[in-house]
Amino acid sequence: MDAAPVATKPPAGVGVTSVAVAMARARETAREAPLFRDPFAAAFVAAAREWLDVPGEDNQWDSLVAWVDLFYSRGVVRTRFIDDYLAAATAGACGQVVLLGAGLDTRAFRLPWRAGVRVFEVDTAPVFAFKERVLAGAVATPACPRTIIEADLRDDWAARLDATGFDPSVPTAWVAEGVLPYLSVGEARHLLTVVGDRSAPGSRLTFEHTGKGRQAATVAASTARALSLPGAGKIGAHFKGGLGPTGRDWLAGAGWTTRAEDRAEVGRGYGRPDVRLPGGEFVTATRD
């Protein structure tokens, strides 16, 4: 779905990575047999390009395109995996969904939600300033009650979430899609501690994890390859490591039952093996 140029700039810093994720979703949607369809992704891409594809040193577009070329398979498999995770969670006990670092996520608009499910999106004000303008231009209508919370995940985002009608007594499906690597170990664990404090029994959580041992070494090599791309340093400068190699063990000790699925196996299951950036796992956790 195309949209007219948007006056609001796309987010800078870590936020610009959400444009790359939208680029991957737009590319996937255009395929003959896509893993998912996002009718709004192309509008985000077109609006962002107005600002990012410019002459000279300020051009970020070429590096984003190169980044998407490398991460494409991983990104679209992750999107489909989380789509399926949310379908299963909300078909069960979870009546709330919280997207942490939501970026340009459009699941509130593009997924079929059962009656009673409410989606909360948490991200910074610059992200939503751009996102809401593009969605308005695309005449997008959410398929469920949707609430945005303008907050940095390193600050007191939870108080703002609570103030919008979030009910911690209701099982919740939490999504931390691609956000943890931009936090330090301490920040990531604090974030998930706050999540745990607001998670009723039966709540669920999903995120990507590097794993340990050989798997962690494979992910490190893949990341180094990605950061060698021209212009990738601007993106890589924001990486802080996330939960660290023992993050899943830490989460299990914090009141969650965890399950890990090898990212490569998940990709093969969807018919999308990722030979360019192997390694890593998808973690799904259930609150005890």
Instruction: Print the SS3 string covering 202-232.
Output: CCEEEEEECCCCHHHHHHHHHHHHHHCCCCC
Strand order in the sheet with 96-100: 146-150, 118-123, 96-100, 172-176, 204-209, 281-287, 256-262
Q: How many domains would you assign to the chain?
A: 1
The answer to whether position 30 is within a domain reads: no
Place of tokens 């007594």: 169
Predicted confidence (pLDDT) at residue 57 exceeds the cutoff of 80: no
- What band does 50 get if pLDDT is binned at 50, 70 and 90? confident
CATH number at residue 193: 3.40.50.150
pLDDT at residue 228, rounded to an integer: 63
- What band does 224 get if pLDDT is binned at 50, 70 and 90? low
The answer to whether position 56 is within a domain reads: no
Residue 202's domain comprises 77-287
The answer to whether position 31 is within a domain reads: no
- What band does 55 get if pLDDT is binned at 50, 70 and 90? confident
User: Rounded distance, CA 188 to CA 179, Å?
Assistant: 9
Backbone dihedral angles phi then psi of residue 93, each to the nearest 5 degrees: -85, -20
The answer to whether position 52 is within a domain reads: no
For 76-118, the pLDDT digits (tens) are 999 999 999 999 999 999 999 999 999 999 999 999 999 999 9
The answer to whether position 60 is within a domain reads: no
Predicted confidence (pLDDT) at residue 220 exceeds the cutoff of 80: no
For 104-157, the pLDDT digits (tens) are 999 999 999 999 999 999 999 999 999 999 999 999 999 999 999 999 999 999
The answer to whether position 58 is within a domain reads: no
Element (H, E) at 159: helix 157-163
pLDDT at residue 280, rounded to an integer: 87
Question: Are residues 86 and 97 in contact, defined by beta-carbon separation less than 8 angstroms?
Answer: yes
Question: Are residues 78 and 284 in contact, defined by beta-carbon separation less than 8 angstroms?
Answer: no
The answer to whether position 272 is within a domain reads: yes
Predicted confidence (pLDDT) at residue 1 exceeds the cutoff of 50: no
The pLDDT mean for the chain works out to 89
The answer to whether position 190 is within a domain reads: yes
- What band does 279 get if pLDDT is binned at 50, 70 and 90? confident
pLDDT at residue 200, rounded to an integer: 99
Question: Are residues 199 and 191 in contact, defined by beta-carbon separation less than 8 angstroms?
Answer: no
pTM: 0.91
pLDDT at residue 79, rounded to an integer: 98
